[in-house]
Amino acid sequence: MDKGFSPSGVIYDMDGLLLDTEPFYTLVTQQIAQRYGKNFDWSLKSKILGRRALESARMIVETLELPLSAEEYLEQRNEILLDMFSDCQPLPGVVKLTRHLAEAGIPQAVATSSKREMLEAKIANHQEWFSLFQTIVTGDDPEVKEGKPAPDIFLVAAKRVGADPEKCLAFEDAPTGTVAAHAAGMAVIAIPDENMDKKLYPEASKILDSMEEFLPELWGFPAYN
């Protein structure tokens, strides 16, 4: 990283980056697709990752030619998902990093395309950990006019923690989110799912296999003890 980079804030995506929720989405979407003799695979998943729920639903319904409206698909999906989310767990290395940066006084935010209702279900068993973040901006926040890949959600998150977007470091797992953070002027570290093609992340400053590989001192933060 550029030695002159002095970060004033860190902004994280949530699904597939902080919390291991993506397998739930994949499982439920595949269940619904199979009801209609269709198959949901990674070629489609890679296109919808990080997008707002309704936009993703429209892409799924149209691509798989499901006999449902996007709203009907979401109704079926959410009914199953809300029960599953109580079991979601942090991904490797993320609790360690967020606690470390909190102790160092670095402002941290979450920028998730999830709606507030979904967010609450996901973090229900992780309240103490999520209290480390100064703000959590959701996809249905009234200040977020356009969803990822537009930069809105990252700009709102930076504003709420009082950080200059160009001095923020963002973490993302999705191509759309990486585009959004880059468009907001941020340096972006991508940590894609192992099934994702890394060529889909040209805007990433760095691509890692896991947060456990991240070395804070290379990005202007205090090193781990």
Question: Which residues participate in catalysis according to the annotation?
Answer: 13, 15
Q: How many residues does the chain have?
A: 225
User: What's the DSSP call for residue 198?
Assistant: G
Cα atoms in the 13 Å half-sphere on the side-chain side of 125: 10
Q: What is the distance, to the nearest Å, from the Cα of residue 118 to the centroid of all Cα atoms in its chain?
A: 13
Cβ partners under 8 Å of residue 163, min gap 6: 8, 9, 107
Report how far residue 163's alpha carbon sits from residue 155's, in angstroms, rounded to the nearest whole number.
9
Residue 215: is it exposed, middle or buried by C-beta count within 10 angstroms (0-12/13-18/19+)? exposed
Q: Report phi then psi at 133, rounded to 5.
A: -85, 135
- In the chain, DSSP assigns E strands to 9-12, 108-111, 135-137, 168-172, 187-190, 206-207
